[in-house]
Amino acid sequence: MKNYLILVLFVFFVSCSSEHQIIEGKVVNANDDPVEDVLVQVMGTDLFEYTNEDGYFKIDTKSRGEELIFNKEGYEFQRASINQVKEVLLSKKD
């Protein structure tokens, strides 16, 4: 019984950990300055984070979605493939 319980717990933790995909990156403006408080959201989900004062973000996509969206008032809306996100350039709206 004890071995069975350990096996069940192991399978549970392995299956839970495989559902996480952590994406990290940085959002900058045209002058290469970090942009704070940018909404970073997994497209089509309720999963989101905001960039910190250095423009960095870290989001757990939970292996859902294929794109991230980046949105901040006064800047152009951006989309990027989850597999290609490292640094995102936000442009000011005209």
Domains of the chain: 20-89 (2.60.40.1120)
- Give mean pLDDT, residues 39-60: 93
- 7-13 long-range CB contacts below 8 Å, 24 or more apart? none
Whether residue 10 is predicted with pLDDT greater than 60 in this model: the reply is no
pLDDT for 55 beyond 60: yes
Predicted confidence at residue 18, as pLDDT, reads 54
Of the chain, the percentage scoring pLDDT greater than 90 comes to: 36
User: Does the predicted model carry a pTM greater than 0.85?
Assistant: no
